[in-house]
Structure 1
Amino acid sequence: MPDRPAYLRIADALREQIRGGVHPPGARLPTMTELGAEHGVSGIVVRQAIALLRGEGLVETRRGGGTVVRVTPPARRVAMDRYRAFARPAAPAAPATTFTRDHGIGWNEYRLDKEFTRTRATGELAELFELPAGTELLRRRFVFYSRGEPQQISVNYLPWDLVGDTPVSDPAREPWPGGTLAQLSFLGRPPTRVEEAVRSRMPTPEEAETLNMAGGVPVFAVTRRMLSGAEVLEVCRDIVIPADRVVLDYAIDLSH
């Protein structure tokens, strides 16, 4: 077997050093010149190695600042259990949502960009809602910020005949303490079940730009349904979260 190309060997060495803590998050890597001298290769070969690591989301190149190891502090998101604190109409002691709880931030550190439009259910949405295609819906696109940094995109849908001409359809009322769970409870339809389906994929260019994502990083795309009894009241298609910023925790109680 021939030797691995030099750029792959350099990338392997740097990757091992990053994962082993030799170059911790935020640290600057040796310069292109230093790496070329260390490995006896040209600058072109070193750039290929760095480009590979950048595509994996391990490093980022800053103009005038060299190449640094990416800092990606995770935000823990406890799947399913996270909704229980907001499943009752009673307001919490301080304004909060599942997002602010996940990120451990106060209400003044939370920002929500929003865009509300009326639309009609496509075949896919109609199937998720278990309603006829063409049913009128309220579409709400949100970008969630924690301490000024964009962390999550959510596009959710609600039946217009449920929310039309109510405060829930007014973007000026956002952010709403308790989020969608509290809104549905406000309308007298508290959800009794939340379903989530999680898949991973690469982000769209618009998602990557909105969330300030590095190249090579996938996202979790979560499809959510909120139901009251057998009726589907909300479909979120999708909740988009960079996969390197979150831990999805699942717990199953096996006791009877």
Structure 2
Amino acid sequence: MLALDQVSLNYGSFRALDGVNLHAREGELVVLLGANGAGKSSIFLTASGLHKAAGGSIKFQNRELVGMKPSQIVASGVVQCPEGRKLFPQMSVLKNLTLGAYVHRSDRAGNQKVLDEVLGMFPILDEKKDDPAGSLSGGQQQMVAIGRALMGRPKALLLDEPSLGLAPLVVKMVFEVIQRINQAGTTVLLAEQNAFAALRIAHRAYVLERGRIVLEGDRESLLNNEAVRRAYIGA
């Protein structure tokens, strides 16, 4: 469904991605593991069209994404939920959510239907829909960020470090929501440093180091891999 083939990315003279090959099949939940700077966010930014690949191919449903505008990529069904949430703190929760539907702005009835589904998934956001997004707790802001991405009607959802800075109980809730989104049929790519929580809900995973894929496998094989456990799980 989503496939990267020999994708490279440069930041000036720095090689951020070096011949990355990965794929996510329809309905899969695939995790990208790696330390800060390993290349997880670079993969998402390149797949989203926000950074221009230096080489390689990125295809979604056999359609080449390299060279497409970010808005076209969103309209095709690939939607990113960025690291750090990137909300507009002075704007209301509702306005932040509706911004996610910009590429579908002509379909008001469809957008209302998706909005109702998002607010049903996150009832606290319905209660706080008129509040400034910046006034919410960290966990609630992450709900807004995920909800905004869902307003883009993703077929493939790219989630970048959704557990960052959240309390353990909130992290548990966020991962339960991610699993529900995937079980409802959305393909999910999840970039995470919280390896144990991510692998528990994953079908497969890739490990990145210095812009390269160094290991891949299914959930069980990586959970039981001693090197992965020492580096990312702490056991």
Give the TM interval when normalised to the shorter protein: under 0.3
TM-score by length of 2: 0.25
Larger helix share, 1 or 2: 2
TM-score by length of 1: 0.23
Of the two, which has the highest radius of gyration? 1
Larger strand share, 1 or 2: 1
